[in-house]
Structure 1
């Protein structure tokens, strides 16, 4: 799990085209207002694919940012993220 979170954290420095919701770290999230959580489950793909899906789902919820709070990969990904406005 630590490796998974590290991979997702490293991806936070990459830009993601037209995605409005940005991946933030714990320090950055301290200055933002929490707006709930989202989860993805049973998703196949690379960490960048998961990040794109999280960003899209956060956008749909009206969030400007999200932070991954749980991630695991048991043949498919399960990821939970906190949303921020």
Structure 2
């Protein structure tokens, strides 16, 4: 019983720590207010993506590029989804 609880607690901790390190979705106003510096763009595409999975993919790609934030500049979803975001440090 204690082992099951420990495994569940570790799983929850790893999920929470992933969320804490993920790049943040920001608005254009936040970019200017926080003086964020653009470091490029990223894009994701696929088939039948939910808005949450698309955001998660963008956040992961932004993290891989060393960005702390991203702003979606293009998004469409008509069977196949595509999203482009500007990334910031």
Determine if the TM-score, normalized by the shorter chain, exceeds 0.5: yes
Please report the RMSD computed on the Cα atoms of aligned residues, expressed in angstroms. Answer: 1.5
- Give the match for residue 22 of structure 2: 20
Give the structure with the larger helix fraction. 2
Unaligned runs of 5+ in 2: 1-17
Taking structure 2 as the reference length, what is the TM-score of the superposition?
A: 0.72
Higher relative contact order (CA 8 A, sep 6+): 1
Cα distance in 1 for partners of 2:30, 2:40 equals: 16
Number of residue pairs matched by the alignment: 70
Unaligned runs of 5+ in 1: 1-15
SS of equivalent to 1:45: coil
- How far the C-alpha of 1:43 sits from its partner, in A, is 4.1
Which structure has the greater CA radius of gyration?
2
SS of equivalent to 1:17: helix
- How far the C-alpha of 1:17 sits from its partner, in A, is 2.5
Taking structure 1 as the reference length, what is the TM-score of the superposition?
A: 0.75
- How far the C-alpha of 1:56 sits from its partner, in A, is 0.3
- Give the match for residue 3 of structure 1: none
